[in-house]
Amino acid sequence: MKEKISAAFAKTFGRAPTVVTRAPGRIEFIGNHTDYNGGPVLGASIDRGVCVAVAPRDDARWRFASDYRGAIGEPLDLPAGEPARQSGNGGWTNYPLGVLAALPAFDLRRPEGFDFLAMSDLPAGSGLSSSAAIELASALAFLELTAQHPDRTTLVQIGKHAENHFVGVPCGILDQGVSGFGKADHLVHIDCRTPSFDTVPLPQGVHFWVFNTHTKHALVDGLYAARHRECMDAAKALGVDLLVQATPGALDAAHDRMTETVHLRARHVIEEIERVRATVHALQFNQLPEVGRLLTASHRSSQKLFENSTPELDFLVDTLTARPDVLGARLSGGGFGGAVMAMTGPDFDRRAANAVVDAYHQRFGACPDVLHMQTGDGAAVL
Ligand code: ADP
Ligand code: MG
């Protein structure tokens, strides 16, 4: 990838880059709506990502190019200084610009001028967090160019700051945390309350298949807000700040202090937090079938208790988990549409995936996109 982006950089800017970086996309492994309840989540950094190449300029210009729309076009040429939001074709530059906008908030300097190229093998808008990947690859590139080396947690927070404040997406810490702390053959474990990050080994030979339905509930933003509110209502009825502080026993005892709906939502979150902990435990003992069982149990809880699944996602999970070569499957991400991920051994192959797609097509008259991946390393200077 380094040779490829260096050659493309030379073609675009007429010289070699001085820094090349790469940051991966991620899969939400388990931990559904646990983040804003202060709970833990497990994510997998994948073997697809975004590469960034940069070289300094001394004329106070920031020039941006990418392969985002297929062929690499004319660079967008902006004056260095205070980043201004872009729209239209240059809208993608809001991710690196958001990183530049964030740097002073972390007492870090911006580069004075540079040429910038992004190239990716990670589809954008497919729930694999290409946004966090481009943020982290950009942040590492700008920091390397200016010889500044903050710690990983700061790098992750810079990416999140860019996405929350400049791009304007109120994402949690999962995407940037996994891209920043990822490691091949590991999962990233995030305690969202602190937040703090560590990794848990995953046995080699685990494969991931993501089936993206490209469906999205029309009311998704309102449904998210409603789930958030219900969780906070449950915490209040339980006398805690966040549901991570509550136990299943305490929830049972408080049953008559909340509505049935609020009780179901809280049960999902409290049990999901237990499932994340059980997954970490099972991984310590290499119990992959148990991990698979927990993944599917997470989906059933989304389906029945949190009610953030859809008939399309349920169909995929039912079809996938009926196969002996699938260890477990669940909706991945916020739900109300989107994607299902399956954890499989090496026997599940393209033919098996096509059989799932055919069944889905017969039922819904549309085909989900299928991506096969394994774990990969986190953000790095190449
Ligand atoms: P996701 O993070 O799930 O992929 P988002 O909508 O959060 O979806 O982020 C996708 C956006 O990230 C794209 O619309 C684009 O602006 C930016 N992006 C992703 N990959 C690239 C790339 N290779 N070059 C430039 N911009 C990219
Ligand atoms: Mg994103």
Domain boundaries, the chain: 2-201, 207-373
Fold of the CATH domain 207-373 = Alpha-Beta Plaits (3.30.70)
Residue 171 has a pLDDT of 84
- Render pLDDT for 197-215 as a digit per residue (tens, 0 to 9): 999 999 988 999 999 999 9
Ligand 1 within 6 A of 127 CB? yes
For residue 172, pLDDT over 90 is answered with no
Question: Span 365-370, mean pLDDT?
Answer: 97
- Render pLDDT for 126-157 as a digit per residue (tens, 0 to 9): 889 999 999 999 999 999 999 999 999 999 99
Quote the DSSP letter at residue 75.
P
Burial-class residue 362 by CB neighbours within 10 Å (0-12, 13-18, 19+): exposed
Distance (Å) from CA 276 to ligand 2 centroid: 23
Taking all residues of the chain, what is their mean pLDDT, rounded to a whole number? 96
Residue 364 has a pLDDT of 97
Ligand 1 within 6 A of 95 CB? yes
Alpha helices in 146-189 (DSSP H): 152-161, 174-181
Give the residue whose CA is nearest to atom 6 of ligand 1.
125
Give the residue whose CA is nearest to atom 11 of ligand 1.
131
Residue 205 has a pLDDT of 87
For residue 220, pLDDT over 90 is answered with no
- CA angle at residue 52 from 48 to 58, to 5 degrees? 180
Residue 85 has a pLDDT of 97
Question: Span 121-126, mean pLDDT?
Answer: 90
For residue 6, pLDDT over 90 is answered with yes
Give the pLDDT band (50/70/90) at residue 125.
confident
Reduced to 3 states (helix: H, G, I; strand: E, B; else coil), residue 86 is coil
Question: Span 269-273, mean pLDDT?
Answer: 98
* β pairing state of 114-120 and 61-66: parallel
Residue 221 has a pLDDT of 85
Question: Span 246-254, mean pLDDT?
Answer: 96
Q: Helices 350-364 and 311-321 sit at what angle, rounded to 10 degrees?
A: 140
Give how far Cα 73 sits from Cα of 6, 16, 67, 94, 263, Å. Answer: 16, 18, 8, 17, 53
> Would you give the distance in Å from CA 210 to the centre of its chain?
13
Active-site annotation holder among 35, 67, 175, 221: 175
Q: Letter for the amino acid at 252?
A: D
Tokens of 174: 């999962």
Give how far Cα 266 sits from Cα of 119, 226, 280, Å. Answer: 42, 13, 22
Fold of the CATH domain 2-201 = Ribosomal Protein S5; domain 2 (3.30.230)
> Would you give the distance in Å from CA 90 to the centre of its chain?
23
| Nearest-angstrom CA–CA distance, 94 and 87 | 8
- Render pLDDT for 24-48 as a digit per residue (tens, 0 to 9): 999 999 999 999 999 999 999 999 9
Q: Which residue in 147, 150, 146, 117 sits closest to 134, CA to CA?
A: 117
For residue 312, pLDDT over 90 is answered with yes
Ligand 1 within 6 A of 92 CB? yes
For residue 23, pLDDT over 90 is answered with yes
Q: Which residue in 225, 195, 186 sits closest to 33, CA to CA?
A: 225
175 is catalytic: yes
| Nearest-angstrom CA–CA distance, 339 and 335 | 8
Ligand 1 within 6 A of 134 CB? yes
- Render pLDDT for 56-76 as a digit per residue (tens, 0 to 9): 999 999 999 999 988 998 999
Alpha helices in the chain (DSSP H): 2-13, 94-102, 130-145, 152-161, 174-181, 220-238, 248-253, 260-284, 288-301, 311-321, 350-364
